[in-house]
Amino acid sequence: MSQKMASTPDPHCFANPGVPFNPEWLADIHINRSAVERRTACLVARRSLTNQWQTAWLLKAISCIDLTTLSGQDTPGRVRRLCTRARAPLPEVLQKALAVESLPLTTGAVCVYHQMVETAVRALEGSTIPVAAVSSGFPAGLSPMETRIAEVTASVAAGAREIDIVITRAHVLNGDWESLYREVRAFRTACATAHMKTILSTGELDNLNNVARASMVAMMAGSDFIKTSTGMESTNATLPVSLVMLRTIRDYHMRTGYRVGFKPAGGITTARAALHYMLLVKEELGDAWLTPARFRFGASSLLGDIERQLSQGNALCPYAGAEAGY
């Protein structure tokens, strides 16, 4: 498909305005699963970081959390409490004990269903914390396209500054990359100036080649982030899938100069697991990606475990000698 990009708002608003669809970039993708699994197995076997860096890594992890509630039991009160936690993710007494009370520590965003966007926006008024909405027929992405676009548009109008969209998995499974490009591009336009995170639902894409190609198409179409999962698939974020996505991000950056963010989501519930993902990002993409602008966790219970580890003073980081800092 050789055509100009669809009309969008000022591309300078985006981390990644996208590029025209190029099937040759997909033909170059061939993933060696065994090599990927060996690489990630080596990662988790590393020795622990010395104590002087433990707190810095975990504070950085907090700043990269999209604090999430996506439940049928969500109420305005529950969302407001979540927003209060996002503003002050650690108790004051723990901040003082760690001597970090002067840090402007918050979570990276609060992520909710469309119906709760206005509640979250009001609860976060006066802060810099963005509201992220899961829209476009989350989680299955099987609603009519008109309905999905309308939901994205409504979430932006309600004040969401980030939109987590879902793709039609059938486009990937059928190898219909042009249709996937057009779909994501339509969502990019509907997002207007809101940052767009594209959920690939990697556990439903059959193989790592599909994960890499879907990642590349999503970035070509203008995704500011690519995200592993909805958190509701049988298989969510994994280190092998994340490695493939990170290397595709690196490839896209080398081809275009645009830096796309990465969001692992689903099943990341412990501080130790979070540190594995942070280490992977640091080693594959470098410190420029270890920032809330380019890296997020999709999580609901991770913050609680990080708080417990900081309180107990026994968190173990698998990276020796890294100066992550906050």
> Which residues are marked as active site?
164, 227, 263
Q: At what angle do helices 177-191 and 145-157 cross, to 10 degrees?
A: 30
HSE-up (13 A, CA, CB side) for residue 223? 31
Question: Which strand ranges, in their side-by-side order, compose the sheet holding 65-68?
Answer: 261-263, 225-227, 195-199, 162-166, 131-134, 109-113, 65-68, 297-299
Alpha carbons within 13 A on the beta-carbon side of 159: 19
Distance, CA of 37 to CA of 219 (rounded, Å) = 24
- Using CA atoms, how far apart are residues 234 and 4, in angstroms rounded to an integer? 38
Judged by DSSP in three states, 189 sits in helix
Q: What share of the chain is helix, strand, coil (3-state, %, to 5)?
A: 50, 10, 40
Residue 164 token pair: 């987590």
- Is the Cβ–Cβ distance between 133 and 164 less than 8 Å? yes
Q: What is the DSSP letter of 268?
A: -
190 touches 152 (CB < 8 A) = yes
Evaluate whether 105 touches 59 at the Cβ level (below 8 Å).
yes
Chain centre distance of CA 16: 15
